[in-house]
Structure 1
Amino acid sequence: MAYSDQEQRMNASAGLASVGTASLLVALKAWALWQTGALSVGASLADSAVDLVISAAGLVAILYAAKPADDDHAFGHSSAEDLAALGQALIVLGSAAAIGIAAIRRLLSPTPPELAAQGAGIAVMIASALITAALIWWQGRVARSTGNKVVAADRLHYVGDLLPTLGAILALWLSHDFGWSDVDSIVALIAAAIMLSGAGKIGLGAWNALMDRAAPDDVVEGIAAIAHDWPGVRGFHDLKTRTAGAQIFVNLHIELDGDQTLTEAHDIGAALKRAIVEAYPQADVIIHKDVYHG
């Protein structure tokens, strides 16, 4: 089952909000980095720059995945979400590695650079944190409502962006009041570790979907329970599932009495399909009818 019109509008609004927010954050943090020279601000800027690229690609994927099935894509275009999520993960991995290496080099340097204009930097980073929090709230609402994988992955990036942003505020404050400039590099290392962890989770989920991994066990068990208890169904077998984006594709063979009419058999299968879709709205269900042999 494809997204409804309302869900498509919500997904697109989340993508547009993400691109706009990332653009604003990049501009603010670039100015703060120029003013302060703080690596923690640079780490947060790099994260936001990555978010901008990811958000733009995610918006394209959201719009493309929403296209209905056609002659060349009989099962729709929802795998575009998984391709975008995998690309997001690879970009984040590279960015995190660059930040981590820069932080280690600065920690090992005998004369770490002095930070400047900490007050202005703190103000910019506080504004960035508030803007990011607002976007995370909206993306969370959309992801819960539609189940869109790209929106959920994009939200994870911005959740991960909050810690380096707050860490940059802490580093600037400690540097300004206590002269603890090494905190800046430590915060950058923590931010890089968080980015690596998030990228691993996103990339693994996207890879599994692209490799036609089955739906989660609780979903498969739920579908099996519905089929097992459905009136007129004497048994079932070959329950197979795969995921693509937010969609779940289901193939199920049900066993029916062979002496009933074709209309009766069709009605049982159609009612079962409706029940499965009602329980799992993003499911695309194909039911095959076999004769029960006892």
Structure 2
Amino acid sequence: MTDQVKLALGSILVGLIVLALKAWAAVMTGSVALLSDALESTVNVVAAIAALVAVKVALRPADEAHPYGHTKAEFISAVVEGVLIVVAALLILREAWLGFRSPDIPQMPAFGLVIVTVATALNAAWSRLLIRRGTRLSSPALVADGKHLWADVITSAGVVLGICFAGLTGYWVLDPLLAAIVAVNILWSGGKLIAASLSGLLDEAVPDQTMQTIRDVISTEAGGALEAHDLRTRHAGRATFVDFHLVVPGETTVEDAHEVCDQIEAALKDAVPDINVSIHVEPEHKAEAEGADRGVIEIGEPRKR
């Protein structure tokens, strides 16, 4: 079982525990704000299941029908999670509206706050773990799940503080008001998650830092070539795809050009995990005719080995 699958399974277990605690607090107190918090945790469980399915699909090797692999499945999972977050926010807004129309004083508020605080602490610890490990494993689904949980942590903390304030002041209308604020915050986080995931599905280029690493490696390792241009990159989950044109002197043999390409590819694989490299070799006159204004990478001295 891979680390990604273990983390996804852990998210489901943690989500179920947190959901049970928050639902218990909501039932015992009758608080609309705590009910809204429990509704979001329901979405957390569904999203964790979607993340598990996406991670398992993304880990499948490339096959005849999917020659570039299945890594984009994680972006699809993140989009689904964003949609579920928006649905949860709409349900919370409905509960908040009903609470405004007929506000009730929660029962046993102190008990409910203790239970929610325990659940929030568990969510916070797991969220940070997911974001850290998901980033290290280049897993958009796990990172998205972690960010979603962190948004849940923030809203839960706001609910706890708000109910404490309402109890001290006697303004229990703050209970449904807090639920509405929670819903707006969830809508915002859901929208950002959907936007980020769609960028991945639309073959967004790698981050600037990774792009510079790729350019530096090509410049350093392409000894014997004249220049490189038309560098293109995209990422799909943990996989990174790179292609570019490499210009070599006209007298270079196929074997020598192939050796230079192998050298560049090996260095890129050392510098960027899970990278797939495609290099189109061109003779010198192609650079003179077409190489201008196409992101030319100058070739430096090869690194001493």
TM, length-normalised to structure 2: 0.87
Maintained 8 Å contact 1:14/1:138: no
Which has the bigger relative contact order, CA under 8 A and spacing at least 6?
A: 1
Q: Find the residue that maps to 1:243 and give its secondary structure.
A: strand
- 1:19 is matched with 12
Query: Partners in 1 of 2:180 and 2:12 — Cα distance?
Result: 26
Query: Partners in 1 of 2:267 and 2:188 — Cα distance?
Result: 38
- 1:118 is matched with 109
- 1:168 is matched with 159
- 2:184 is matched with 193
Question: Structure 1, residues 79-124: CA drift from partner, whole Å, max 9, x if none?
Answer: 10011111111111121122234324533x2x41221111220121
Query: Partners in 2 of 1:224 and 1:237 — Cα distance?
Result: 10
Deviation at 1:212, TM superposition (A): 2.1
Q: Find the residue that maps to 1:198 and give its secondary structure.
A: helix
- Say if 2:105 is the partner of 1:90: no
- Say if 2:280 is the partner of 1:288: yes
- 2:234 is matched with 242
1:63-102 matches, cutoff 5 A: 63-102=56-95
Which stretch shifts more, 131-140 or 61-70? 131-140
Deviation at 1:163, TM superposition (A): 1.7
Which stretch shifts more, 276-285 or 265-274? 276-285
TM, length-normalised to structure 1: 0.90
Across the aligned residues of Structure 1 and Structure 2, the Cα RMSD in angstroms comes to 1.9
1:269-284 matches, cutoff 5 A: 269-284=261-276
Query: Partners in 2 of 1:253 and 1:81 — Cα distance?
Result: 30
- 2:148 is matched with 157
Maintained 8 Å contact 1:143/1:149: yes
- 1:3 is matched with none
Q: Find the residue that maps to 2:243 and give its secondary structure.
A: strand
Question: Structure 1, residues 265-290: CA drift from partner, whole Å, max 9, x if none?
Answer: 11211111122222221322112212
Q: Find the residue that maps to 2:2 and give its secondary structure.
A: helix
Pairing partner for 2:136 from 109, 125, 145: 145
Maintained 8 Å contact 2:155/2:185: no
Maintained 8 Å contact 2:58/2:70: yes
Query: Partners in 2 of 1:183 and 1:244 — Cα distance?
Result: 44
Q: Find the residue that maps to 2:68 and give its secondary structure.
A: coil
1:207-286 matches, cutoff 5 A: 207-229=198-220, 230-286=222-278
Unaligned 5+ runs, structure 2: 289-305
Deviation at 1:127, TM superposition (A): 1.0
Pairing partner for 1:49 from 42, 48, 54: 42
Pairing partner for 1:60 from 50, 53, 59: 53
Q: Find the residue that maps to 1:180 and give its secondary structure.
A: coil
Query: Partners in 1 of 2:173 and 2:131 — Cα distance?
Result: 34
Q: Find the residue that maps to 1:94 and give its secondary structure.
A: helix
Query: Partners in 2 of 1:155 and 1:139 — Cα distance?
Result: 5
Question: Structure 1, residues 30-77: CA drift from partner, whole Å, max 9, x if none?
Answer: 111111111111121111100100000101111110111111111111
Unaligned 5+ runs, structure 1: 1-7
Q: Find the residue that maps to 1:240 and give its secondary structure.
A: strand
Code of the aligned partner of 1:236: A
